Homo-oligomer: A and B are copies of this chain.
Amino acid sequence: MANIRDVAKAAGVSVATISRVLNHPDTVSEETKKHVQEVMESLNYKPNSLARGLALNRSHTIALIVSDILNPKYMEIAKGVEDVAHSKGYNILLCNTEGSLEKEKEYIEIMSNRMVDGIILSNTRIDSKEIYNITQKKIPVVSIGKTVKDLFNVYIDDEEGAYEATKHLIDIGYKDIGFISGPMNQNENKEKKKGYEKAIAEAELKIVKGYIQEGESNLNGGYITAKRLIKKHPNIRAIFIANDLMAISALDAIKSEGLRIPEDIAIVGFDNIAMSALVEPKLTTISQPIYKMGLMASRMLLEQIETPEEDSPQQILLQTKLKVRESCGYHSGVKRIFD
């Protein structure tokens, strides 16, 4: 309601003074400062941040663009982002692309014009050239989970993780190992496929094309794809699944076929979302520091916003780790079957 001019009038000072007590309190005398503050209080004055944003060309808002708001992984990232952003007085504009490249571009464009101070992209499909094309390099962008040459990012080595997962199954003794992947138009999944194939090749097992099945990266996709894979290839005894969300529903799909996990089919997932430790059997998975990635990305972004430097993009590689639980059968002695 009340604007800065009202306050100025009521306090008998100029608007500049009001602005000063707000933004540079030390440049104004103790006396007037106190008086102004009282008047602000009594008028219940709150500065309009739109106007402030216009004047400063800064909105204290950052955009977080994710491909699936319903995937706990992205929400854990979001929490990390929000935690540091909020502590520094920034707010989060949440954008859900549903894996669509179109929507992703659309959002990046909307966001640049909405004058967000920066953008965090999570598992994006777009490449840096296009991004810069849209943002005109006017605002910083950091990407989570994808290695893009000239973009700030925090990521993991998807190929390495997938390799580890597959190798673990091989080490246990499995030979016919399937791979359930998310959409191959996401870089993440291409990398995982590479890792899977590398492990298979290294063990001198044969790479069967049909062993690799692609589905949507959600519960439904995992269920459908798992059913398809085990029906087409009943000889498969182990499956590496590209993400835990798909893996969790794959568990259900496999059980619904009357098969036991890990006795009949062993499973290794990827991500280590909280739920993975709560399904039955508990999911063996490649754990990645999801929350931390959100934190770090957020910090990187805010740093660029507050102290812009024309450095070459910073790239932070975080480590994945095999988390052995039950679904791979390692502990339960399935291993002995092969000994």
Chain A: residues with CB nearer than 8 A to chain B? 1, 44, 46-51, 53-54, 59, 61, 64, 69-70, 72, 75-76, 78-79, 82, 86, 91-96, 109-110, 112-115, 136, 138, 219, 248-249, 251-252, 255, 274-275, 277-280
Contact = CB atoms under 8 A, between A and B. Distances in A.
A49 B249 CA distance: 42
How many copies, total? 2
Nearest to A291: B70
Contact of A54 (B51, B92, B136, B274): B51
A249 to B, nearest CB: 6
The 7 closest A-B pairs by CB, nearest first: A280-B280, A94-B94, A46-B113, A50-B115, A49-B114, A50-B54, A50-B53
Contacts of A255: 280
A207 to B, nearest CB: 31
Given A50-B53, A50-B54, A93-B93, 7 more contacts: A48-B113, A54-B54, A69-B82, A78-B94, A255-B280, A278-B279, A280-B280
Contacts of A72: 70, 72, 75
Choose among A70, A91, A278, A280 the residue with the greatest number of B CB atoms under 10 Å from its CB. Answer: A278
B70 A76 contact: yes
B279 A93 contact: no
Contact of A248 (B44, B46, B59, B278): B278
A325 B129 CA distance: 50
A91 B110 contact: yes
Nearest to A58: B50
Contacts of A278: 219, 248-249, 251-252, 279
A136 B219 CA distance: 43
A110 B91 CA distance: 9
Contact of A50 (B50, B70, B75): B50
A287 B245 CA distance: 21
Nearest to A71: B75
A277 to B, nearest CB: 8
